[in-house]
Structure 1
Amino acid sequence: MMKPADPFPRLLRTFFYERLAEQRNVSAHTIRSYRDAWRLFLRFVAERRHCRVAELTLQALNATEVAAFLQHSERERKVSIGTRNCRLAALRSFFSFVAERDPTAIEQCSEVLRIPTKKAPMPVRHELHMHEIEAILAQPDRTQLEGQRDYALLWLLYNTGARIQEVLNLCPADIRFDTPNCVRLLGKGRRERICPLWPETVELLKALLQRQPCASNERLFVNRYGMPLGPSGVRFKLSQYVRSAAAVVPTLASKKVSPHTFRHAAAVHLVAAGVDVTVIRSWLGHASLETTNHYAQANLETKREALRRLQPHSKVDKPPPWRRNEDLLTWLESL
């Protein structure tokens, strides 16, 4: 009698193709993230059990293996707590799906689902001041196509406060070049938002399109081979510009600057300008106001101004009006 096939391969395929892609309609980025987490997890378990990945069964993928994988990710692979939690979310999502499809595995799935996410300390964010942003923007050689592209991209990041992938996904059709100038961004959770553009930003994008024309549905930012530019390429170029700018503005040498730093700088500068936090939330495309509060922290100058307003008045200020009234003082002394 043949041994019944283990349900794990079928469940994993159904999870990716039906649950994620069809039923939940998650983004391609989410699917890739979940795929990478599962690829690492399966290789880890197979190595621990001295077998091939194809020989793994659903029963073998228990809470003990998940906990060991998370610990290995932090200690051996040196991933951040945030990455650790993202990988746990990818595993949890599958086991939640399995619990619905296979009632006999509910106990195993519930043990995995009880593994908690780990809290991470909130680091002090390195905010960019305006003169530092200007120093970085002065580095690309705008006489070259690559420099013109990088200048427009970094300027657009600061103008919109967009995530790097949101900007890299842009096509000319997403930009309104007529008044009122704006851009349509597609963010996390497929949430779409409209962000206003400065006239200077529009002129930079027009100039880039004149020098490097593309169809309305093609990516605006491409590499030297005409292929869509990736986040890693932007980070590499930005790190070069920051190192060059640090020779002019030394404070940049001690700051970790990434494309996301421009997003944070936009939020901080909006707060300093007195923009309401709910408007900033819409501007940045956050689902929760709590997330906006993490990014849009007041800068030091704003804090100093708030402290100045709270500072008690000096004791050497003018005396109260009743002390400056001679007739009232005379009357009080006569009592």
Structure 2
Amino acid sequence: MNKANPFPNLMRMFFYEWLVEQRNASIHTVRSYRDTWRLFLRFAAQRAKKKVARITLADLTAGEVAAFLRYTEHGRGGTIGTRNCRLAAIRSFFNFVATREPASIAQCVDVLNIPVKRAPVSEPCYLEPAEVAAILAQPDHSSLEGMRDHALLSFLYNSGARIQEALDLCPDMIRFDSPSCVRLTGKGRKERICPLWPETVLLLKKLLERKPRAPDQRLFVNRYGEPLSASGVRFKLAGYVKEAAETVSSLQTKHVTPHSFRHATAVHLVSAGVDVTVIRSWLGHVSLDTTNHYAKANLETKRQALEQVSLPATAVQPPSWKRDTSLLAWLDTL
């Protein structure tokens, strides 16, 4: 290790030995951490008036990390969630450094003590069934691209999958025979099985007939046969939502993303009376508290619950303590 500046070797060991080999982190985690450190190093280098290659571990103080987090949230217009994700990536590195560089443990502790910022918990924005139907009606089913988009959006709504889970879908992950289902790999490499509607299975079969794929190849690809990106799906969806909003006006005030279909799946399952523990397994939630959040969001469910509660009967006589004159007389003496 370079005694003068151990930071480059520490960074290499963190990504290759710690994240990949020891932690077996997913490619998405590695890329997220990579992007965080790319931004952080550029930020620190600019403030220190150095080139990135000249940055040392001593330059990356807790104060510098705090300044970067403020820049992430206010300078770049990021959300509190984005700020906390950046902090998680930086914390992970300094937690690793603390085991490799005992002389820097005080600096590591200062960084690890930077708190996660709490954000207000808002009700999830979800799509009503009519809004989902309007969006699904927009793709041109006669074209390969439209068939692909319709199948993808239908799959998102059926499975409640996260966008990257859907984009990673390969034919060998799907059981086409009855009972049809799909095997998804979510956060933390946790696998789950989701049932598929016959209509969704038919759409996926037709897409494979039109665009055959090997069992281990991605199902949703662009015109060049390359896997779709999440940003590409968001761009296409925005166009479909704009078209659907011409007939369903409520869509004009909603910010619809691929994740909105996941919210819709959760809320509609709650409306159908499905037990929350089943919904948690369906969506791959780690905590039941996350699933319960959707139970609070459905106004129709709240209305139905309210209708089942009758108003309390009006009392026809005063309570017993008011009728007891001896008790009232004793209270008057106090």
TM over 0.5: yes
SS at match of 1:59: helix
Q: Which amino acid aligns with 2:306?
A: L
SS at match of 2:14: helix
Which residue of 2 is the match for residue 324 of structure 1? none
Which residue of 2 is the match for residue 74 of structure 1? 73
Q: How does 1:33-182 map to 2 (within 5 A)?
A: 33-182=32-181
Q: 8 Å contact 1:184–1:192 — kept in the other structure?
A: yes
User: Gaps spanning 5+ residues in structure 1: where?
Assistant: 316-335
Q: 8 Å contact 1:128–1:262 — kept in the other structure?
A: yes
1:238-287 Cα deviation digits (max 9, x unpaired): 10000000000000000011110000000001111111111111000111
Q: 2:230 & 2:296 partners in 1: Cα distance? A: 25
Identity of aligned residues (%): 65
Q: Which amino acid aligns with 1:45?
A: A
Measured after TM superposition, the shift of residue 64 of structure 1 is: 0.7
Q: 2:60 & 2:126 partners in 1: Cα distance? A: 43
Q: 1:142 & 1:258 partners in 2: Cα distance? A: 21
Q: 8 Å contact 1:268–1:298 — kept in the other structure?
A: yes
Instruction: Say what the alpha-carbon RMSD is for the aligned residues.
Output: 1.2
Q: 1:277 & 1:240 partners in 2: Cα distance? A: 33
Q: Which amino acid aligns with 2:155?
A: L
Higher mean C-alpha displacement, 102-111 vs 289-298: 289-298
Q: 2:71 & 2:202 partners in 1: Cα distance? A: 49
Q: 1:113 & 1:137 partners in 2: Cα distance? A: 46
SS at match of 2:183: strand
Q: 2:256 & 2:188 partners in 1: Cα distance? A: 26
SS at match of 2:117: coil
Measured after TM superposition, the shift of residue 308 of structure 1 is: 1.1
TM-score, length-scaled by structure 1: 0.91
- The structure-2 alpha-carbon separation of the partners of 1:254 and 1:290, relative to structure 1 and needing over 3 Å to count, comes to same
Q: 8 Å contact 1:272–1:298 — kept in the other structure?
A: no
State how many pairs are aligned: 313
Q: 1:314 & 1:201 partners in 2: Cα distance? A: 50
Higher mean C-alpha displacement, 283-292 vs 62-71: 283-292
Q: Which amino acid aligns with 2:299?
A: L
1:69-94 Cα deviation digits (max 9, x unpaired): 11111111111100000000000000
Measured after TM superposition, the shift of residue 208 of structure 1 is: 0.7
Which residue of 2 is the match for residue 195 of structure 1? 194
Q: Which amino acid aligns with 1:240?
A: G
Which residue of 2 is the match for residue 302 of structure 1? 301
Q: Which amino acid aligns with 1:223?
A: N
Q: 2:257 & 2:50 partners in 1: Cα distance? A: 41
SS at match of 2:57: coil
Structure 1 segments of 4+ aligned residues over 6 angstroms from their partners: none
Measured after TM superposition, the shift of residue 296 of structure 1 is: 4.6
Q: 8 Å contact 1:264–1:296 — kept in the other structure?
A: no
Higher mean C-alpha displacement, 117-126 vs 230-239: 117-126
SS at match of 1:183: strand
Q: 1:190 & 1:295 partners in 2: Cα distance? A: 24
Q: 8 Å contact 1:175–1:183 — kept in the other structure?
A: yes
- The structure-2 alpha-carbon separation of the partners of 1:18 and 1:295, relative to structure 1 and needing over 3 Å to count, comes to farther
SS at match of 1:149: helix
Q: 8 Å contact 1:175–1:184 — kept in the other structure?
A: yes
Which residue of 2 is the match for residue 226 of structure 1? 225
Measured after TM superposition, the shift of residue 100 of structure 1 is: 1.1
SS at match of 1:223: coil
Q: 8 Å contact 2:123–2:297 — kept in the other structure?
A: no
Q: 2:166 & 2:186 partners in 1: Cα distance? A: 10
Which residue of 1 is the match for residue 4 of structure 2? 5
TM-score, length-scaled by structure 2: 0.91
1:172-220 Cα deviation digits (max 9, x unpaired): 0000011110000010100001101011111111111111111111110
Measured after TM superposition, the shift of residue 101 of structure 1 is: 1.1
